[in-house]
Each structure stands twice: as C-alpha cells, then as structure tokens.
Amino acid sequence: MIRHTVVFALKHAKDSAEEAKFLEDAKVLIEIPGVEKFEQLRQVSAKNDYDFGFSMEFADQATYDAYNAHPKHVAFVEGRWIPEVDRFMEIDYVAL
Amino acid sequence: MIRHTVVFALKHAKDSAEEAKFLEDAKVLIEIPGVEKFEQLRQVSAKNDYDFGFSMEFADQATYDAYNAHPKHVAFVEGRWIPEVDRFMEIDYVAL
C-alpha cells in the first residue's frame, strides 16, 4: 500500500464559488482506476500555511504510476491544478 | 474526527540503532488516552525532504488538547523529539 497525499492552498478566495468548484471537480480523480480511500480534507493546523489536503491509496507503485500517467490525471493537473493551486507539498507514505 | 500527522527526519543515521530505538520508543504515544489509529509510516516521495511520519486520530479537539498536555506526550517531546528530530512539519486534517 502506498498512501499519496498532497497538502495545498488555492489561489481562490476562501469560501468562494471558485474554491468550491475546484474541490468538486477534483472528484474526477476518484474515477481513475486504482484510486482507493480517496479523501478531501481541510487542513486545520496553525503550524503550516496550507488549507486543504487530498489523500488516496494505491495497491502498489505500478498502480500509482498508472494513475500519474492517466489522461484524467494529466488533464486535471494541467487544466486545474497548475492554474488554480498557489502552493502545495506531496507526501507519500508506506507502512513502516 | 481530527487526524493529526507529523512528517519528520531524524538526526540519526539511516537504518541506525538509534533510529530504530526512537521509532520503537515513540510507541509510548499509543498509551495516551484518546489516541486512535496510530500509525508509524515511512515517507517515500522524492518531492520532499522528510523520512518518516506519524498519524493518529482524535474524536474531537478536547481529546487532542488533552493528548498534547498529557505527561507522556510532554515527556516524549522534551526528552526525545526535541533532541533527536532534525526537522518536521505538523499537518492536521478534518473531513471537508
């Protein structure tokens, strides 16, 4: 199991319609084969500067690689993520 | 539900006995009331500079606050975390 997470902040104003639409449209990622336990999260610690997080799990690295290369993922990154996300950090975990 | 996570790197050499002991001794945190779904994780993304993660969940903010103030947590932070952790970032999530 690989847990892929990304913590991020949007360029949009907080609680704006654009923010809500980005989060809603990001659910397209659930449709990509191999995505398990997809979660959309609000980041609430005052000790960092991010507002949201996505978390998902893949059975193995090959499934993760296929997700990254999937046309729906590529289209989301190019069409929505890059234009609308202000800052982000990816953190990926496996069991210790 | 509040998911408290911390991603971090140790001062110890990779795969050292000191590293293993830190991770083993950190399991004391499981004993603190209110800690649920405690996980020790290896951080594997090349896109950040951290090596490990801990994740746990609390039912609510009051339980989280009690964890932070618990003597076993305070002792772990002062006696092990501060001396042995080189860098870290806390990320806390709630459901969106």
- CATH number for B20: 3.30.70.100
Is residue B41 a contact partner of residue B53, using CB atoms and an 8 Å limit?
A: yes
Give per-residue pLDDT as tens, B57-66: 999 999 999 9
Q: Which residue has the tokens 């209110």?
A: B34
Mean pLDDT of B77-83: 98
pLDDT value at residue A27: 98
Q: What are the structure tokens assigned to B57, written together? A: 């969940």
Give per-residue pLDDT as tens, B30-41: 999 999 999 999
Give per-residue pLDDT as tens, A19-77: 999 999 999 999 999 999 999 999 999 999 999 999 999 999 999 999 999 999 999 99
A95 to chain B nearest CA, in Å? Answer: 5
- Smallest CA–CA distance from B95 into chain A, residue: A41
Q: Which residue has the tokens 């090959």?
A: A62
pLDDT value at residue A31: 97
| A87 interfaces chain B, CB cutoff of 8 Å | no
Q: What is the dihedral of CA A26, A32, A38, A42, to 10 degrees?
A: -20
Residues ≥6 apart with Cβ < 8 Å to B23 = A96, B40, B52
Mean pLDDT of A3-28: 98
Work out how many domains chain A is built from and give that number.
1
In whole numbers, what is the pLDDT of chain B averaged over residues? 98
Give per-residue pLDDT as tens, B3-26: 999 999 999 999 999 999 999 999
pTM of the predicted model over 0.90: yes
Q: Which residues on A lie below 8 Å from B47 (Cβ)?
A: 89-90
Mean pLDDT of B90-95: 98
> Would you call B45 exposed, middle or buried from its count of C-beta atoms within 10 A (0-12, 13-18, 19+)?
middle
DSSP, residue by residue, A64-96? HHHHHHSHHHHHHIIIIIHHHEEEEEEEEEEE-
User: How many pairs of residues across A and B have Cβ atoms under 8 Å apart?
Assistant: 67
pLDDT value at residue A67: 98
Residues ≥6 apart with Cβ < 8 Å to B51 = B8, B9, B10, B14, B42, B43
pLDDT value at residue A71: 98
pLDDT value at residue A82: 98
pLDDT value at residue A4: 98
